[in-house]
């Protein structure tokens, strides 16, 4: 192949090992790739993995399988893994976001690395202790123990929600917060408070925690809407399931969404367009998060830059939000 490309064997090794950037010109790298295609060359991954002690298997840890977001993260990770000839084991942690037990007698013996979504790095101590590199998704980017982090821009998503509602004239907000102690939900609360700070008369009149399912969202919204003091004109929900429950609560109390009350969600699950009115929500690029996480882990294993990233999110305005009732 070196002879066909007109380069040295060392150059071929760098290009085929994907370690050529900064050491080999683009023209020479393309010459090597072209020669490989013409000669029908395929890398002997089995031999490389034997040399490196690789198993070509990674573990994806999630808090639960019942949330569509994690299914989409898995789909993205599995797509990239398939392209790389890597297997992905999906492991729903028995303790949710709490400590994740090692699913094998010795994870180090069976895995190359771990990708964990929406969890704290501390909860993965049993896996990290085996020396496995861990890539965190939708998790604290300041953790020094993660090999890399990949996050959707959660704070910007909440800023987009606040800007949308403020532009519609809303000034009295209630926050239906997820009753989950994790980085991703703490960021949402901080971003909402920060976005309203400095806006005349804008405030969160009440924060009500709720478990992440529709019935809990309904009960929490009923408590907010039936409580003392001025009623909020907008319910900002940490998740689409909470928002769907909030819409049910509004109907039970004789309120119209969005005429009397605007409701927003977060994630853009399939549920967001299954309810009536359809939910205004923040679309999280779950599959892209999974894809980027798998690429980041591959980079860490190969000793390349880890590709840590923050992925953009977008507000999807639908029928559950409208002008503030009474102009306030």
What pTM did the predictor assign?
0.80
For the chain, how are helix, strand and coil distributed in percent, rounded to 5?
Answer: 45, 20, 40
Question: Which of these, 228, 227, 222, 230, lies nearest to 254 by C-alpha position?
Answer: 222
- CA-CA distance, 255 to 84, in Å (whole number)? 52
- CA-CA distance, 280 to 152, in Å (whole number)? 18
* pLDDT in the model for residue 66: 79
Instruction: List the pLDDT tens digit at each of the 328 positions of the chain.
Output: 677 778 787 787 777 666 666 777 888 888 877 877 776 665 544 334 433 445 678 989 898 877 899 999 999 999 999 988 899 988 887 666 666 665 655 555 578 889 999 888 777 777 766 678 899 999 998 887 888 999 999 999 999 999 999 999 999 999 999 999 899 999 999 999 999 998 999 999 999 999 999 999 999 999 999 988 899 999 999 999 999 999 999 999 999 999 999 999 999 999 999 999 999 999 999 999 999 999 999 998 888 877 678 999 999 999 999 999 875 5
Per CATH, is 53-151+286-310 categorized as 3.40.50.2300? yes
Structure tokens at 52: 């490196």
* pLDDT in the model for residue 198: 87
* pLDDT in the model for residue 99: 64
Superfamily of domain 154-284+315-327: Response regulator (3.40.50.2300)
- For β-strands 309-311 and 172-178, DSSP reports them as unpaired
Q: Give the HSE-up count for residue 137: Cα atoms under 13 Å, Cβ half-sphere.
A: 31
Give span(s): CATH 3.40.50.2300, the chain: 53-151+286-310, 154-284+315-327
Q: Residue with structure tokens 């890398």?
A: 43
Other Cβ atoms less than 10 A from the Cβ of 324: the count is 21
Structure tokens at 59: 């573990």
Whole-number CA gyration radius for the chain = 24
Q: Residue with structure tokens 């060392």?
A: 10
- CA-CA distance, 198 to 179, in Å (whole number)? 27
- Helix 9-16 vs helix 26-39: angle between axes, to the nearest 10 degrees? 90
Classified as helix, coil or strand, 245 is: helix
């Amino acid at each position: 192949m070196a002879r066909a490309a007109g380069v040295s064997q060392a150059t071929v090794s760098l290009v085929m090992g994907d370690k050529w950037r900064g050491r080999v010109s683009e023209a020479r790298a393309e010459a090597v790739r072209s020669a490989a295609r013409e000669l029908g060359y395929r890398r002997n991954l089995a031999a490389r993995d034997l040399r490196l002690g690789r198993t070509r298997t990674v573990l994806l840890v999630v808090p639960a399988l019942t949330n569509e977001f994690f299914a989409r993260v898995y789909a993205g990770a599995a797509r990239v893994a398939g392209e790389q000839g890597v297997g992905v084991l999906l492991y729903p942690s028995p303790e949710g976001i709490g400590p994740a037990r090692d699913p094998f007698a010795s994870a180090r013996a069976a895995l190359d690395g771990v990708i964990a979504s929406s969890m704290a790095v501390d909860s993965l101590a049993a896996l990290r202790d085996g020396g496995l590199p861990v890539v965190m998704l939708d998790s604290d980017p300041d953790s020094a123990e993660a090999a890399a982090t990949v996050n959707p821009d959660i704070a910007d998503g909440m800023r987009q929600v606040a800007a949308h509602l403020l532009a519609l004239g809303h000034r009295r907000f209630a926050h239906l917060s997820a009753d989950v102690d994790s980085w991703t939900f703490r960021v949402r609360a901080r971003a909402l408070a920060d976005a309203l700070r400095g806006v005349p008369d804008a405030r969160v009149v009440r924060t009500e925690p709720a478990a992440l399912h529709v019935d809990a969202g309904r009960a929490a919204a009923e408590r907010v809407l039936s409580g003392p003091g001025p009623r909020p004109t907008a319910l900002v929900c940490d998740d689409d399931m909470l928002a769907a429950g909030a819409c049910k609560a509004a109907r039970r109390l004789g309120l119209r969404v969005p005429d009397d009350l605007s409701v927003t969600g977060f994630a853009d699950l399939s549920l967001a367009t299954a309810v009536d009115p359809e939910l205004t929500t923040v679309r999280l690029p779950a599959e892209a998060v999974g894809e980027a996480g798998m690429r980041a882990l591959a980079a860490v294993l190969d000793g390349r830059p880890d590709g840590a990233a923050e992925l953009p999110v977008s507000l999807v305005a639908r029928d559950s939000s409208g002008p503030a009732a009474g102009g306030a």
